[in-house]
Amino acid sequence: MSFSLDPAVLVLEDGTRHPGRAYGARGTTLGEVVFATGMTGYQETLTDPSYAGQIVLQTAPHIGNTGMNSEDVESRRIWVSGYIVRDPSRVVSNWRAEQSLDDALIADGIVGISGIDTRAITRVLRSAGSMRGGIFSGEAATMDAGEQLRIVREAPQMAGQNLSAQVSVDAAEITPATGERLGTLAVLDLGIKQATVNSLAAHGFDVHVLPQSATIDDIRAIDAVAVFYSNGPGDPAASDGHVALLREVLDDGLPFFGICFGNQLLGRALGFGTYKLPFGHRGINQPVLDKQTGRVEITAHNHGFAVDAPLEGAVDSPNGYGRVEVSHIGLNDNVVEGLRALDIPAFSVQYHPEAAAGPHDAGYLFARFHDLVRTTLENKK
């Protein structure tokens, strides 16, 4: 790949400017600037739909060494609104690579910036919280600084945004079970990753990935034995329709498993609130305590919102679904990282157990879901 000397600038809503070099496509892009701490897995990060609407800063300094390939993508395209790296690799050094990261960014129209002090920006975001920003390159880099700042400050906040329709499939997609078949699983696609679909299929489910606009009648029509809500971008408080659907699922007695955004929506369906974290959890090294086993897991996260629920003891669901307990707790900041309903077959976690990229400590959760569905089916006989 060629080494760009074209100018670019990152402008944050607090007025700070960070000049660098153009990376990827040229132009203007806006979004919430967040940082991801993974040392590896940039391809999985870029193709994770949960990052829609966000400009992602990689804290690892050297990005792009292994290029991009068609096997490790987690969805149909790159979803980040923009990309910030310190030192992009000038060459691709991996036998599996099919193109450079720079070329992939250009192909999907992703405006990026390189050659800036990502450590300094991360420190700002950790202190002040995630904030709106814009990357300006090409002709946009020469725009008046005041005009660039005005554009950034007029961009929408992440709070209040419903982005599910942007990332969801338009029509149902089916992946047959690869393990011993248990039944049909209805998956509401709020921004699902392919590794999650593969994990569910490996545990005996015919995985029907449904559009985010699916109704309870759509779920009943496929004779689903259980329902799964995926990860995804946006504010859970702006997804009342998905919460209402989930309440119908719970009322039908269907087993439920949700991850990331799905955890927040289960919390709201049960009657708890959600709130925005200062700078969120994004990376593949987040320690979480499983209260049921006492084990500490290193897990993969990507979320800027969290559930507001009591950390200790069982409490009654405000919406009448029986007792609920917080099942997992983040050890860095005591954020709710999982919920477990004690009187109905439903649970969720705030992180990504499929771990693409990331550690595999939480892979047992798919087996836990399989066992929950099997037990529920046996009890109905």
Active site residue 354: yes
- Compute CA 331 distance to the chain's CA centroid, rounded to the nearest angstrom: 20
Catalytic residue among 74, 297, 337, 354: 354
Least Cα distance to 121 among 18, 258, 26, 212 occurs for 18
Neighbours of 11 (CB within 10 A): 25
Q: How far apart are CA 290 and CA 338, in angstroms?
A: 9
**DSSP string covering 193-207, please?**
-HHHHHHHHHTTEEE
Name the β-bridge partners of 20.
8
Active site residue 303: no
Catalytic residue among 260, 297, 303, 325: 260
Tokens of residue 224, six digits: 């689903």
Dihedral, CA of residue 351, residue 355, residue 359 and residue 363, to nearest 10: 80
Q: 381: exposed, middle or buried (C-beta count within 10 Å: 0-12, 13-18, 19+)?
A: exposed
Strands 314-316 and 323-330 turn out to be: antiparallel
Q: In Å, how far are 51, 100, 216 from 183, measured between CA atoms? A: 31, 41, 17
For the annotated catalytic residues, the residue numbers are: 260, 352, 354
